[in-house]
Structure 1
Amino acid sequence: MTKTIPKVHIFGIPFSKMDMKDTVQYLTDRINAGQQTHVITANPIMVMSALESPSYKEMMLKSDIIVPDGAGIVWAAAKGGDPVAERVTGIELLHELFKVGEAHHWKVFLLGTTQEIIDAAAESLQMQYPQVRIVGSRNGYFNASQDDEVVAQIAELEPHLLFVARGADTQEPWIVKHRAALKAPLIMGVGGSFDVISGKLKRAPQWIQRVRMEWLFRLLQEPKRLPRMMVLPRFMLKVMRNKDNVTKHIDNS
């Protein structure tokens, strides 16, 4: 039986307080025990979406673990007086799981983005982690009428790990809807991680990550993200105005 996750609630969204090492161990134990786990790597934009959409919040709460991917979440938890251990980014968690997967010869399926990018990401990961078996990859450009076909394809290959990159608005609801049929022990949305792994985009240098400006580095590479990024100042303002209540757990269900 896996341990209980220590959590802090950011405006009602329960974030894991575990560091990367403990998160990886927790997930490894569940995979080895055959317990299916849906991991959400969440940022302030997703928290704001949950506040504005009850259905989106309900979807997030159906996941098994929500990790603090965004630097803004780490900052908000500290402001609320109930800090997390550290930031647990989706791309780093993916790599840590691949490292563990080498020892266990886990099978992996990659889903999302364009076929060119997903194929390049699969090739890069397979070279880095030759003992992991990447059993399939498919682009994320399919509609609801093709869902059953895609789900059946993945389930037939029986991957231990399924990573999905279709954008937070699409990937998480899709995972929640189809997780039972997908059967994979671990399913995780990874957003733009495949763009970085494939080499299409560069990840911000460590010093930029340390000063919590990774969002700006990414925005300079993808100016089309500006409307989405405008949510960040709103989140920061909400935290500053409500810092006494940021981490209070109020069950509105």
Structure 2
Amino acid sequence: MTIQMVDILGVPFSSMTMEETLSYITKQLHDRETVFHIVTANPEIVMCARKDPGFEKVLKQADLITPDGIGVVKASGLLGQPIKERVAGFDMMNQWLAQLSEAGKPVSVYLLGAKPHVVEGAARTIASYPGVTVAGYHHGYFKKEEEAAIVEQIQKAQPDILLVALGFPRQEEFIQAYKHELRAKVAVGVGGSFDVWAGEVKRAPKWIQSIHLEWFYRLCSNPSRWRRQLVLAEFLKEVLRERKTVKS
């Protein structure tokens, strides 16, 4: 299957729907020699890559970048390359695990990141899916010199799926740095998903998600995020500048 790509400010996004994405990544579980790296990218990640050439290189080495953020979807329309729908990392993983369970396909998962009690809680939630085994987990509070030991733990576990919740760009950089050593089949940077699975953070109600205001719900729930929200305006400014360039 050939992935149709859409360039948003230099970042190559997949334009597949959620259903198409789930079908595609399921195929990656079979006989991979190296990790299939999935990045779920929002406007913050795009802007980080725009300012950091090293991170931009890491992103472009990923095997699949999904549009996790309605801002990316809206930007694609403004640039004349509309992406069909948002493919959020948290929703993608929940639906994927559910699909694999319903299909009777046993899979093992390793979780890396977040606080100790959070990753433990997330592991319990993921283990509740029939046929899903938690091969191991480790919190995200480790130093650079401890990475080799953690990679060795993941190697021994040999999980089908590795979920890394270290926040960007650290989670993407970790996966790429050890891509040929991890012995997992699929690795996904999942940001704050462990907090949701552990019950530490609540998702916005479905109706708020449906009108694309989940970002506003998060801001109201955690006002300290306001500085992070400023990047959305910067992202829009860059998109409009790019649109003007394309049209001229």
Q: What's the TM-score bracket when you normalise by the shorter of the two chains? A: over 0.9
Aligned counterparts, 1:1-253, within 5 A: 3-34=1-32, 36-102=35-101, 103-127=104-128, 129-245=129-245
Q: What TM-score do you get using the length of structure 2 for normalisation?
A: 0.94
Which is worse superposed, 238-247 or 94-103? 238-247
State the alpha-carbon separation in 2 of the partners of residues 142 and 101 from structure 1. Answer: 31
Aligned to 1:251: none
Which is worse superposed, 132-141 or 63-72? 132-141
State the alpha-carbon separation in 2 of the partners of residues 49 and 184 from structure 1. Answer: 27
Percentage of identical aligned residues = 37
1:110-132 CA deviation, whole Å, 9 max, x = no partner? 111011111111112222x0211
Q: What TM-score do you get using the length of structure 1 for normalisation?
A: 0.92
* Displacement after TM superposition at 1:51 (Å): 0.9
* Displacement after TM superposition at 1:210 (Å): 2.4
SS at match of 1:118: helix
* Displacement after TM superposition at 1:246 (Å): 7.0
Pair 197,246 (structure 1): closer, same or farther in 2 beyond 3 Å: farther
SS at match of 1:182: coil
SS at match of 2:16: coil
One-letter code aligned to 1:18: M
State the alpha-carbon separation in 1 of the partners of residues 241 and 197 from structure 2. Answer: 38
SS at match of 2:29: helix
- Which runs of 5 or more structure 1 residues have no equivalent in the other structure? 248-253
* Displacement after TM superposition at 1:220 (Å): 2.3
State the alpha-carbon separation in 2 of the partners of residues 20 and 58 from structure 1. Answer: 25
State the alpha-carbon separation in 1 of the partners of residues 173 and 204 from structure 2. Answer: 28
SS at match of 1:179: coil
Instruction: Give yes or no for contact 2:160–2:185 (8 Å, CA) kept in 1.
Output: yes
Pair 86,223 (structure 1): closer, same or farther in 2 beyond 3 Å: same
State the alpha-carbon separation in 1 of the partners of residues 246 and 142 from structure 2. Answer: 38
One-letter code aligned to 1:111: L
Pair 245,173 (structure 1): closer, same or farther in 2 beyond 3 Å: farther
* Displacement after TM superposition at 1:100 (Å): 3.5
Instruction: Give yes or no for contact 2:9–2:242 (8 Å, CA) kept in 1.
Output: no
Aligned pairs, how many?
244
Instruction: Give yes or no for contact 1:76–1:246 (8 Å, CA) kept in 2.
Output: no
Instruction: Give yes or no for contact 1:80–1:244 (8 Å, CA) kept in 2.
Output: no
One-letter code aligned to 1:180: H
SS at match of 1:183: coil
